Amino acid sequence: MIEDILPGKVACASSLGDLADEAPGTLFPAEEAVITRAVAKRRQEFTTVRICARRALKQLGVEPVPLVPGKRGATAWPSGVVGSMTHCAGFRAAAVARAEDVTSLGIDAEPNLPLPEGVLEVVTRPAEARQLARLAELRPEVSWDRLLFSAKESVFKTWYPLTGEELDFDEAELDIDPDTGTFSARLLVPGPLVTGERVGVFHGRWLVRGGFVVSGIVLEAAAGSDAER
């Protein structure tokens, strides 16, 4: 599913179930150290998404290495590789690409269900809230609030490796196209510099299928100030 919204230069792998029991000993010691005291659910998520990441890396010809989360959960990828991982109940995925092709990328998956009470007000700007109301009337089968949340997660995952800085939910304003399965995120703070040009807008794609909403942004190398695929 995630591969349907990513360009061919991005390798990806996903799973609808946990794989940890099928591949014991998958984790490196440095990864095991991260989840030493984690509950079973967290261990399964952590392990399965790394199995997906190693499968995606294999498509690039990259040997397995420890994938240890750092600050804000950002993964330290092998040299010359950029990537992103996501997991939610029932879905895990990873996407990677060579840095010579892609400057940064972000993916996110969520259940196609309304956001928990109180979250919508935190993650939306006024213009976005008005847009969500219109979209809900147009296609009520899509949890547009959850899709917006997912897209903003993809924005952050693309932004953070380039800046090392936080990006609040209200510092990017999204416009979702219900017909093309695309979205744009206008950064309301100075964007990252990429090959000497400041990126002011991230463009992404989204999909709703099988009870999930997924989103992805691919900031291609030398994409310029209006970036994605």
Output the pLDDT for position 101: 95
Please, what is the average pLDDT of the chain?
A: 91
Q: What is the pTM of this model?
A: 0.91
Token output for 85: 């991982």
> Who contacts 210 (Cβ-Cβ below 8 Å, separation ≥6)?
1, 16
Strands 193-194 and 197-198, bridge-based pairing:
antiparallel
d(CA 49, CA 11): 14
Output the pLDDT for position 24: 57
Q: Where are the domains of the chain?
A: 2-101, 108-227
Per-residue pLDDT tens digits for 137-159: 999 999 999 999 999 999 999 99
For residue 205, the cross-strand partners are: 182, 216
Contact in structure between 56 and 95 (CB atoms under 8 Å): yes
d(CA 147, CA 155): 12
Buried/exposed 196-208: b ≥16 CB within 10 Å, e otherwise: eeebbbbbbbbbb
Output the pLDDT for position 74: 81
d(CA 122, CA 102): 31
d(CA 54, CA 148): 29
Output the pLDDT for position 17: 81
Per-residue pLDDT tens digits for 67-108: 998 877 788 899 999 999 999 989 999 999 999 999 999 999
Output the pLDDT for position 33: 92
Output the pLDDT for position 229: 35
Output the pLDDT for position 114: 96
3-state DSSP assignment of residue 27: coil
Per-residue pLDDT tens digits for 202-213: 999 999 999 999
Q: Which residue has the higher pLDDT, 44 or 110?
A: 110
Same fold, 2-101 and 108-227: yes
Q: Provide the pLDDT confidence category of residue 196 given band limits of 50, 70 and 90.
A: confident
Output the pLDDT for position 72: 73
Whether 225 has a pLDDT exceeding 50, the answer reads no
122-126 long-range contacts (CB < 8 A, ≥24 apart) are: 122/169, 123/148, 123/149, 123/152, 123/169, 124/148, 124/169, 125/170, 125/173
The burial of 27, by beta-carbon neighbours within 10 Å (0-12 exposed, 13-18 middle, 19 or more buried), is given as buried
Which numeric CATH code is attached to 2-101?
A: 3.90.470.20
- Give the mean model confidence (pLDDT) for residues 35-63: 92
- Give the mean model confidence (pLDDT) for residues 187-205: 92
Q: Which fold does the domain 108-227 belong to in CATH?
A: Ribosomal Protein L22; Chain A (3.90.470)
Output the pLDDT for position 25: 63
Output the pLDDT for position 224: 45
Output the pLDDT for position 18: 81
Chain centroid offset of residue 223 CA: 19
Contact in structure between 183 and 207 (CB atoms under 8 Å): no
Helix (H) or strand (E) holding 213, with range, is: strand 212-220
Output the pLDDT for position 147: 98
